[in-house]
Structure 1
Amino acid sequence: MEETWQVSFESIISQIIEQGYGILDGFLSEEEIGALNESFLAHYQAQEFKQAGISKGHEVVKNIRGDEILWLEKDNANEIETRFLTRLEEFMSYVNYTCYLGLRSYEIHYASYPVGTFYKRHLDKFRNDSGRKLSFICYLNQDWQPDNGGELVLYLPDKAEKILPLGGRLAVFESDKIEHEVLPATRERRSLTGWLRNID
């Protein structure tokens, strides 16, 4: 792992310890954002995305959640996707080394929020599954402007924190503690979203 990434990882871990969430800009370079958008579009044009559901039963309820997703598996990932997953694994290893969370696996998907869609306030924890420890979102939006909307809202004990979905930005927060929602946007909103887990 490069020393610069150690500094970046330490910064986001310090934020999580202090406030339950962390933000790291520049997790992806402009070149990487562009390459991942090319992969995103290729998958989308191949009609590989599916309407996202809620709960373990994957029930589609559009007045709660409007995104379309594609699960990303390392076994069939392309070069840029593999590079992203490798960096994610390095971050997971660093979290284990510094915070002793015992993270063992991850699950991740591409997410597309068409114009005007949203995801109402919720917690990233299934009723009978406590394996998700850290939720993460890495944004793929290029040239995003504040008036485009689409913020991630984290509901903290003393305030609601809005996070703009800027390209290359990584947001990480405690899955079982922080309720959150996704606000509507005036443009399609893209990300790689997932969870770090302490079970296989």
Structure 2
Amino acid sequence: MPYQWPTATEWLNQIAAPFYQQGYMVLEQAIPADLCWALYQDVQQQSLKTAGVGRQGQHQLDQQIRRDQTCWLSPDNPVQQQYLQLMQLLQQDMNQRCFLGLIDFEAHYARYQQGDFYQKHLDAFVGRSNRVLSSVCYLNTLEQGGELVIYDEQDQQISKIQPKAGTLVIFESCRFPHEVLPATQTRYSIAGWFRHNTSIQGWIDPAI
């Protein structure tokens, strides 16, 4: 059954203020219901592969750290392109309001099946990555399990977010460790990263 909720007309305004104050934000029903439903249908038609950890030569599969499956979004796919365009609007707005200098966005579908998890980690390290903002958009709702837990710099839990279709989470990539708790049923989402320059002192930050 297709999702139904009112289309948010001021969603950009609802993101910038809490993000500016605390470095992260959680907004329910952030994306249009029809787009969220189309993405949910689309991800189930894709060929997702077991995700790895590490970059470049250190990239490896380690199911003690993460057990999700992923597939990168492409502008060649009409449904995925709609989401990428929506994130481009967010990128422009965050640049104007918060002067972040974002120039790029990359994202992939993520599927967590029953028992799948992702241990606590950072998406970026200061001075070693061009990822500035991390994002998660949920494509289906889980009553329990599969929560995203966000920690502060002192490793204290500050937010525990239950997967709910249409919810968008944004947080600073190098500031907040986070984890995905074991899923009790299949959990679909889009994980994305807003980036600035493509290299730092000659060091390229490729996609995972």
TM interval, shorter chain, is: 0.7 to 0.9
How far did residue 29 of structure 1 move?
3.0
Using the aligned pairs only, state the percent identity: 36
Checking the alignment, whether the CA contact within 8 Å between 1:139 and 1:168 is kept in structure 2 is yes
Corresponding residue of 1:153: 149
* Distance of 2:59 and 2:124 partners within structure 1: 14
Counterpart in the other structure of 1:90: 89
- Rounded Cα–Cα distance in structure 2 between residues aligned with 1:50 and 1:130: 24
1:153-177 Cα shifts (integer Å, max 9, x gaps) = 0002454310111000000000000
What's the C-alpha RMSD, in Å, of the aligned pairs? 1.6
Say if 2:40 is the partner of 1:40.
Answer: no
Q: Unmatched 5+ residue regions in structure 2?
A: 1-7, 199-208
Aligned to 1:177: 175
How do 1:90-109 and structure 2 match up within 5 A? 90-109=89-108
TM-score by length of 2: 0.84
Question: 2:203 — aligned with what?
Answer: none
Shift of 1:30: 2.9
Q: Distance in 1 between matches of 2:15 and 2:175?
A: 17
The CA distance in 2 between the partners of 1:107 and 1:34, in whole Å, is 21
Alpha-carbon offset, residue 49 of structure 1 = 1.3
What is aligned with 2:191? Answer: 193
Distance between the aligned counterparts of 1:128 and 1:61, measured in 2?
25
- The alpha-carbon deviation at position 33 of structure 1 amounts to 2.1
CA distance in 1, matches of 2:158, 2:119: 14
The one-letter code sitting in structure 2 at the alignment partner of 1:88 is M
Does 34-43 or 59-68 show the bigger shift?
34-43
Unmatched segments (≥5 aa) in structure 1: none
Q: How does 1:53-92 map to 2 (within 5 A)?
A: 53-56=52-55, 57-74=58-75, 76-78=76-78, 80-92=79-91
CA distance in 2, matches of 1:128, 1:20: 18
Runs of 4+ in 1 over 4 A off after TM superposition: none
Find the aligned partners of 2:67 and 2:114 in 1 and give their Cα distance.
Answer: 10
